[in-house]
Amino acid sequence: MADEGDEIRTDIPVVLLHDIDPDWTEGEIKDSTEQVEILACALRELRHPVASVPVRDDDIVGALVHFDPAEWIVLNWVEELPGIKHGDAHAARALQQGGFTYTGSPPEVLELSYDKLRCKELLVQAGIPTPPGRMFERACEDGWTDFPAIVKPAFSHCSTGITNDSVVMDARHLARRIAHMIRRYKKPVLVEPFVDGREFHVSLWGNGRIEMLPPPEMDFSAFDDPRDRLCTWDSKYLPGSRHFEGITVQLPAALDHDELHALERVSRAAAQALGCRDYARIDLRLQDGEFFVLDVNPNPDITADTSFALAAGIDGQSYGRMASRLVNLAALRHPSFRPSSGSGAN
């Protein structure tokens, strides 16, 4: 393995670390376990030695007590931990402290991604187009004049709190929505102009050489009301709901050469501005010929039916080779697996 993107090594032992919440329903635990086994089998088909390790609390190192950090790469698939704030960042920090080499971004980047206003400030400093935002700690009918606007929890992930009511058309409804969100989540909210344009979820991988996978477009054509033209919580997690059924995905997106080049340039710059490592997903919207970054996710879901895995498939990568590529990117940081020249370590 001379460099990122070249031939991958499939002899690297992999610990597939994933979270299980004891409070999940039996069906949720069964589904999660099945998804993990699908990924483990895909890696084994490439001849990777694989051990699947579930974590149910914050004792990450304890769960890995039988694994020597000198001999294994951890494919870090921890998204949340029960009762732990920023569980994905906690897991990454524990792996780091335990001496493990793991896939994905370091804990500082994972924690940063929850702070939407700080992320926006870093994007602006880097000259990357993003809708201007303002944090509100209480409802106020004054001080915001750019409508339509969208109201989001300022410290969250995964479209938490996003419904069609998140898009407001005037100051009165803005004040009501801010008050509702602060009451519900006990945290400040972020208000932005609502970019009513085409939306793309761009998957990236690599470090020194960052590559864009074929980008999917979220198709909102089933909805006439602009307040429905967004990816809500329901659209991601509630099968049968209006948004889940009404929003379709066009993969790859219909973009011309110049648009693809601009999308890749902005997406790469956003990932680099926030310090993402190995892989990331950037959500953007196209309006008046310009791509605006809405969100940067340094820990995107890699389940087989998610946009990251599907985009890799369009790019000609099997599910196993997609995961192996992530393992190989991490291996470039491991003294036992990186090339002797050290040319790819980063």
Overall average pLDDT of the 125-130 stretch: 98
pLDDT given for residue 139 in this prediction: 77
Lowest mean pLDDT among 24-38, 232-246, 256-270: 232-246
Indicate whether 231 pLDDT > 60: yes
Q: What is the pLDDT of residue 296?
A: 96
Distance between CA atoms of residues 89 and 86, nearest Å? 5
Share of the chain above pLDDT 70, in %: 93
Please state, in angstroms and rounded to a whole number, the distance separating the CA atoms of residues 246 and 280.
26
Mean pLDDT of 133-155: 86
Distance CA 228, CA 211 (A): 32
What value does the mean pLDDT take over residues 317-336? 97
C-alpha 244, offset from chain centre: 19
If one compares 241 and 310, the residue with the highest pLDDT of the two is 310
pLDDT at 5: 47
Kindly list the domain boundaries of the chain, sorted by start residue: 134-193
Q: Are 209 and 242 in contact (CB under 8 A)?
A: no
In this prediction, residue 220 has a pLDDT band, given cuts at 50, 70 and 90, of: confident
Mean pLDDT for all residues in the chain = 90
> Phi/psi at 52 (nearest 5 deg)?
-95, 125
What pLDDT digit, counting tens, does each position of 20-68 carry?
Answer: 998 899 999 999 999 999 999 999 999 999 999 999 988 999 999 999 9
pLDDT at 236: 67
Rounded to whole angstroms, how far apart are CA atoms 128 and 6? 30
Mean pLDDT is highest, among 129-138, 184-193, 212-221, 324-333, for 324-333
Confidence of residue 158 (pLDDT cuts 50, 70, 90): low
What does DSSP say about strands 248-250 and 134-136: parallel, antiparallel, or unpaired?
A: unpaired
Alpha helices in the chain (DSSP H): 26-45, 60-63, 87-97, 107-112, 116-125, 171-185, 233-237, 242-246, 257-274, 307-314, 319-331
What was the pLDDT predicted at 226? 80
By mean pLDDT, which of 233-237, 309-313, 323-327 is the weakest? 233-237
pLDDT value of residue 2: 33
pLDDT in tens, 65-107: 999 999 999 999 999 898 888 899 999 999 999 999 999 999 9
For the chain, what percentages of helix, strand and coil (3-state, to nearest 5) are there?
Answer: 35, 20, 45
Q: Is 231 helix (H, G, I), strand (E, B) or coil?
A: coil
CA 270 to chain centre: 13
Higher pLDDT, 152 or 231: 152
> In this predicted structure, what is the pLDDT of residue 128?
98
Per-residue pLDDT band for 154 (boundaries 50, 70, 90) equals: confident
What is the reported pLDDT for 138?
82
